[in-house]
Structure 1
Amino acid sequence: MTNALDTPPTRKKTQGIGVSALVVFYVSSIVGTGILLVPGLTEAQAGPAALLAWVALALASYPFARFFAEVSARNPHASGLGSVVAGGFGPRHGRSASLLLLTTYAVGNPVMGVVSAGSLLHLLGVPDAPDTLLYAVAGGFMLLSTGFTLLGVATGARIQAASLVVLLAGLGAAVVLAVPHMEAGSYTPFLAAGWGSVGTAVVIAFFSFLGWENVSTLADQVEDPARSYRRAIRYAVPVVGLLYVCVTAAYLAVPGDDPLVITALLGASLGGSGVAVGDLLALGLSLIATNAWVLGASRLLGSASRDGLLPRSVTARPGRPPAVLGGAYLVVLGALAATGAGVELALITTSACFLLLYVVAAAAALRAPDAAPALRVTAKVTLLISAGFLAFAGTGLAIAAALALGCHLAAHSNSQNRKALER
């Protein structure tokens, strides 16, 4: 596994995607399911004070984004976060981190499929569909997104860009139309559930800000990564932060209890027809986000196979990685349906796993003796913020720790087996 903290490559240009495509992948990785579903979950947790969680995360986004941009700029490698850990703590721990990241994608990505399914069923007049139907439709959407990865990065970027412009315009219009229907009284009492609830809301809302590390999986196909990544986050971070805060503030101010943000905003202003349009836009946004995340998972899966973490047969044929990912997503959705655990547990577990990985990756960057000053500064801030957020993860942290231990043992066993075969 390549050291993520090596000196930046001297090659100035490679054939690949540029700054504008990176911005699209950043925004489409982050804006989507999170802005549709999570504000309602944070409101249920902290009431109007949930807005503070979104503001805090919007501000924390820049050091997170800059940290992973620096990593990708210095060593363009599809293993992304795992290569950072390998650079500071050694290959074995890097493989453990890569396996945990891949597991987290498998657990978290299906949440987006559930949102897509919920939007479609609501549009079709089946808002209270049984879980078996909801998760079956979600499985279909996840398989659709795994098929999207076969189009390739360049083609996918063009499709994502065109769709994202239309759908973000629709989201902005929904906020503007909802303004006359907003009520200041919706913000009182503001802190009824206490500051602890805001901390928990931060962990839940953190799911919406995942994605800065997802784009690092595309690094080996980026044109001039040292320049492109740093420029891309200058545009992507303020767009994401401002959009999230404005949309959440509007959602908290409109009457009603619809769990989907865009449906609530358009329903307040346009009635029944607004609800239908909201469902369509929600479906489009969730599909865009799912495509971006599944593409990142596919790239990571290929990297894990090439590095020997998974059998090479996983990537032996072009259609094999999507099939493997699709199977994993169906297993997770089947487990959610069978246990009745619900998407909130999957969501908070995903957030906790990523926070744990952020802590380890930042610590690894600080431990490496050859880390550049810019990387060290962003790593320190990322470590402090992630550790602070992780303290509120509760059950999610316990599950994340168990998954991390399992991945470490599996990676160690895999390493031992490889050494035995080499003998």
Structure 2
Amino acid sequence: MKPSVATSTSLTKTLGLQQIIALYIGSVLGSGVLLIPGLAAEIAGPASILAWLLMSILVLPMGVTMGLLSARYPSSGGVSSFVQTAYGERFGNMVGWFFLLSVPLGAPILSMIGSHYIAILFNWSDWQVTLCAGMILLSVLWMNTMGLKVAGRVQTIVVSLIVSILILAIVAAVPHASGANFTPFVPHGWLSVIQAAVLMFWCFIGWEAVTHLSGEMVDPRNAIRGVFWSAGIIALLYFLVALMTVATHSYGNDLTAASLSRMIQLSLGPVGGWFVALIALFICIASANVYVGAASRIAYSLSQKGFAPRWFGILHPQRRTPIGGLAFLSICFVLVLTALQLQLVNLSSLIALPNATFIATYIGGCLAGIKLLRDNRIGRIASWISLIFTVGLYPFLGWPALYPLAIAAALFFIGRKKLPSHMDQ
């Protein structure tokens, strides 16, 4: 049985290379670019730019692994389908739920981050911030209801704006750069460079999300082409932003949390704050767009295989979009935003949980790559490098590492049964 084929045949193939590249960039180039360059420079000083180069190289195998698997096994199930093909339906089901239960928490976090940047400009109250976050999520849900053809086009426009504003920030900082800011080059020792590199890992997560859209790629081989194009663009942008952060010394004390804003305001003044707010909003929309699209499709895939409620698999009668999965996400978004508004939970506590399930998803994907790509030398090496990297990181997650284990335990006791009628489909 090859469920990865069966679960993707009812979805419309609309994604070309341009949209795939935009989706990759939107999923990987996240809110970390607003904060991490300043934090990394504060930890390692000018030597932090070496950490950016190192991480750009180390995370490429992750993208290559996911891209090769998407090209060979295109499916709306994404990583879960890869794991199922390699190790059986029980493990595939588990990885699918890891990803699915990440997005109901992760997407509201992204929308709240974007809302906070806008709120600073307008001095909004807490309920206005939450309302804005809800509107961001509503727009993303609408785009995915209309279909990936619409969502992909919007993503291309949004990513183009993100790249343009980042380039503006880099260019604006050039006249204020000084070589004196690169000395001493390693003020805190070489160990600080490794510490900065670990922090940067969160800037490069996102390759797994696009695997769930591979069933709707016009040519699945574009998955790996998209990886190389997007990886190059992302690495270059991160490096240049980090370089200019150091060159203008836009970090340290109160500058670290707003290093990008500081860079833009060096030349543009207060209006630079508006550009930072816009890029924050665009980044959050782009990231949420990819993850909502991916999660709705994994919900559809799990339903088709009998591992989720049947209504998760409902498709729009005309557009063939997974409105059942989108409805599930909508319910979750309302609950999470309500909890945040009522201060039943805070963002700093909430954000650690999806990080843990994303890492667990990567580990599953890397293990699948080792088995499924063993006849591909590049794929085999990339899978092993990625596995060692992600497994080494997992113990450092702390208590949130228990979240994927709790999901696995719940599936073992109450989620193992699969509907016989679906098994034969």
Q: What whole-Å deviation, never above 9, does each CA across 1:289-337 have from its counterpart, x for those lacking one? A: 2222222222222222222221011233544432321222343344455
Residue type at the aligned position of 2:411: A
The offset of 1:154, in angstroms, is: 1.1
The answer as to whether partners of 2:69 and 2:373 remain within 8 angstroms in 1 is no
Please state whether the residue corresponding to 2:255 is helix, strand or coil.
Answer: coil
The offset of 1:250, in angstroms, is: 1.9
Counterpart for residue 181 of structure 1: 176
Counterpart for residue 302 of structure 2: 304
The offset of 1:182, in angstroms, is: 3.4
Q: How does 1:64-79 map to 2 (within 5 A)?
A: 64-79=62-77
Counterpart for residue 205 of structure 2: 210
The answer as to whether partners of 1:309 and 1:414 remain within 8 angstroms in 2 is no
Q: What whole-Å deviation, never above 9, does each CA across 1:215-250 have from its counterpart, x for those lacking one? A: 11111111221x312222221111111111111222
Counterpart for residue 358 of structure 1: 362
Q: What whole-Å deviation, never above 9, does each CA across 1:160-185 have from its counterpart, x for those lacking one? A: 21232233122102111112223556
Kindly, what percent of the aligned residue pairs are identical? 26
Residue type at the aligned position of 1:244: Y
Q: Please tell me the root mean square deviation across aligned C-alpha atoms, in Å.
A: 3.2
Structure 2 counterpart of 1:140, from 135, 138, 143? 135
Counterpart for residue 101 of structure 2: 103
Q: Distance in 1 between matches of 2:48 and 2:179?
A: 15
Task: Evaluate the alpha carbon distance shift between residue 374 and residue 250 of structure 1 in structure 2; reply closer, same or farther with a 3 A threshold.
Answer: same
Counterpart for residue 399 of structure 1: 400
Structure 1 counterpart of 2:110, from 105, 112, 115? 112
Counterpart for residue 80 of structure 1: 78
Counterpart for residue 233 of structure 1: 227
Q: How does 1:246-395 map to 2 (within 5 A)?
A: 246-252=240-246, 253-255=248-250, 257=255, 259-316=257-314, 318=316, 319-336=323-340, 338-339=343-344, 341-343=346-348, 345-367=349-371, 372-391=376-395, 393-395=396-398
The answer as to whether partners of 2:56 and 2:235 remain within 8 angstroms in 1 is yes
Q: Distance in 1 between matches of 2:354 and 2:272?
A: 32
Higher alpha-carbon deviation: 347-356 or 167-176: 347-356
Q: Distance in 2 between matches of 1:216 and 1:229?
A: 8
Residue type at the aligned position of 1:265: M
The offset of 1:278, in angstroms, is: 2.5
Task: Evaluate the alpha carbon distance shift between residue 194 and residue 340 of structure 1 in structure 2; reply closer, same or farther with a 3 A threshold.
Answer: farther
How many aligned positions are there?
Answer: 407
Q: Distance in 2 between matches of 1:25 and 1:288?
A: 8
Counterpart for residue 217 of structure 2: 222
Task: Evaluate the alpha carbon distance shift between residue 300 and residue 416 of structure 1 in structure 2; reply closer, same or farther with a 3 A threshold.
Answer: closer
The offset of 1:49, in angstroms, is: 5.0
The answer as to whether partners of 1:203 and 1:348 remain within 8 angstroms in 2 is no
The offset of 1:53, in angstroms, is: 3.9
Q: What whole-Å deviation, never above 9, does each CA across 1:331-351 have from its counterpart, x for those lacking one? A: 3344455255434x4445434
Please state whether the residue corresponding to 1:259 is helix, strand or coil.
Answer: helix
Task: Evaluate the alpha carbon distance shift between residue 137 and residue 37 of structure 1 in structure 2; reply closer, same or farther with a 3 A threshold.
Answer: farther
Task: Evaluate the alpha carbon distance shift between residue 194 and residue 307 of structure 1 in structure 2; reply closer, same or farther with a 3 A threshold.
Answer: farther
Q: Distance in 2 between matches of 1:39 and 1:339?
A: 31
Task: Evaluate the alpha carbon distance shift between residue 419 and residue 371 of structure 1 in structure 2; reply closer, same or farther with a 3 A threshold.
Answer: farther
TM-score normalised by the chain length of structure 2? 0.84
The offset of 1:96, in angstroms, is: 0.7
Determine if the alignment matches structure 1 residue 158 to structure 2 residue 162: no
Counterpart for residue 39 of structure 1: 37
Residue type at the aligned position of 1:399: P
Q: Distance in 2 between matches of 1:204 and 1:308?
A: 39
Task: Evaluate the alpha carbon distance shift between residue 39 and residue 366 of structure 1 in structure 2; reply closer, same or farther with a 3 A threshold.
Answer: same
Please state whether the residue corresponding to 2:213 is helix, strand or coil.
Answer: helix
Please state whether the residue corresponding to 2:14 is helix, strand or coil.
Answer: coil
Higher alpha-carbon deviation: 281-290 or 198-207: 198-207
* Unaligned stretches of 5+ residues in structure 1: 7-13
Please state whether the residue corresponding to 1:362 is helix, strand or coil.
Answer: helix
The answer as to whether partners of 1:53 and 1:198 remain within 8 angstroms in 2 is yes
Q: Distance in 1 between matches of 2:265 and 2:97?
A: 42
* Unaligned stretches of 5+ residues in structure 2: 6-11, 317-322
Residue type at the aligned position of 1:167: I
Q: Distance in 1 between matches of 2:357 and 2:180?
A: 37
The answer as to whether partners of 1:62 and 1:237 remain within 8 angstroms in 2 is yes
Q: How does 1:190-201 map to 2 (within 5 A)?
A: 198-199=193-194, 201=196
The answer as to whether partners of 2:303 and 2:309 remain within 8 angstroms in 1 is yes
The answer as to whether partners of 2:90 and 2:416 remain within 8 angstroms in 1 is no
The answer as to whether partners of 2:306 and 2:419 remain within 8 angstroms in 1 is no
Counterpart for residue 239 of structure 2: 245
The answer as to whether partners of 1:70 and 1:375 remain within 8 angstroms in 2 is yes
